[in-house]
Amino acid sequence: MPLGGTEDAPVGRQDAEPIQTTRSPLEARQALRMRRLYMAMASYAMWVAIGLLGWAGGQVELPLTTVGFITVGILATNLYFYYMIRSGRNLGRADPSMTLSQLLIALAWALLLIFSAHEERGVMTSVYLVLMLFGVFQLDRRRFLLVATLAAVGYVGVVGLDAFLRPHMVDLASEGFRLTVLGAVLAWCTFFGTHVASLRETLRERNDALKEAVERAHRLAERDPLTQAFNRRYIMASLNREKSRADRTGVPFSVAICDLDHFKIINDRYGHLAGDQVLMAFAELARRELRGMDVVGASMDHGCFGRYGGEEFICVLPGTKLEGAKECGERLRESTEHSPIDVDGLFKVTLSVGVSEYRRGEDIEDVLRRADNALYLAKQNGRNQVCCERRLKPPPKPGDVVPLKRYR
């Protein structure tokens, strides 16, 4: 074996497929969740800084150990959510964004901060607005109402606990006014959040409908309307993709042209409707048989089975040499012969197949022409058989005796 190459590829040629750099939809959604988490971390950092500033100025009266506990707890909370999203463990949850979990934990820290800053409680309640904004664009109506209700009940609980522990420091009239304002703000946020959730749901439904319409248009553009096999346009595009791949990497591919024998007799004797049903039944049979073969792909980047025109079908066989393509055609021929088609009675249909292998650097028309010639040979030899292209004879080696042609 020569250095730097293999038996199937020339020396110095790179056979690796180009690296795909496009993000998958799942990776894009995970990246979006990470950006949202970074925004939440920045908000946490801002409010921790405000709390430390209030503690240093005396507005927040807490022991140093409590301040350290809150700071470390918030850091641990953010690290937990970062680990869950970064590792992909969030994908196993019903809500991969974990928005509700993040909001409930943030609500608990906010209530602790509001309880600690009893004299500056009116200022610290503004943290609720930040929490509500995070929930507006992600939570549905039911969960948003849950968070808003817990926020209001939690504030009432904080004020009640503060009044029980430090009754001389609580002004019930002021706290009542604050609670009224907070209730009005939470009610507005709830109304706005549920409205956004409704718009988001409507937009999702329209996006789903648009996606379905686009997929249906793609199917109509790629599929034969009668047999639902790929159409001629898609087949030619698939052949050109395989040609580019073979020219670039040296990976072989083959083509098999299949033709139903005596199909014109079926149309003339039983009518075109019967002929159409035979075509549909054969296409379904072929898809079922080819689906289990490793040599056949059915994706945009690999091979396909499609209707070429009339009663002719084509199999594009990626990564397959001539012998494998012949085996594939033979299997399909046998299955067709031994599977009578029921169209107001049983039709025994046979199949002729012509097979050719792509030769590096040639045009698509050349490989199709050789497969068509092989199909013609199968028809001439009695039909119901598989014929391969005629291979070119290798050039004579030095010293070989070459017989001379006689001319008259």
Is 311 noted as a catalytic residue in this protein? yes
The answer to whether the beta carbons of residues 257 and 308 sit under 8 Å apart is yes
List the catalytic residue out of 175, 311, 357, 389: 311
Specify burial of residue 242 (Cβ count, 10 A radius: 0-12, 13-18, 19+): buried
Active site residues: 311
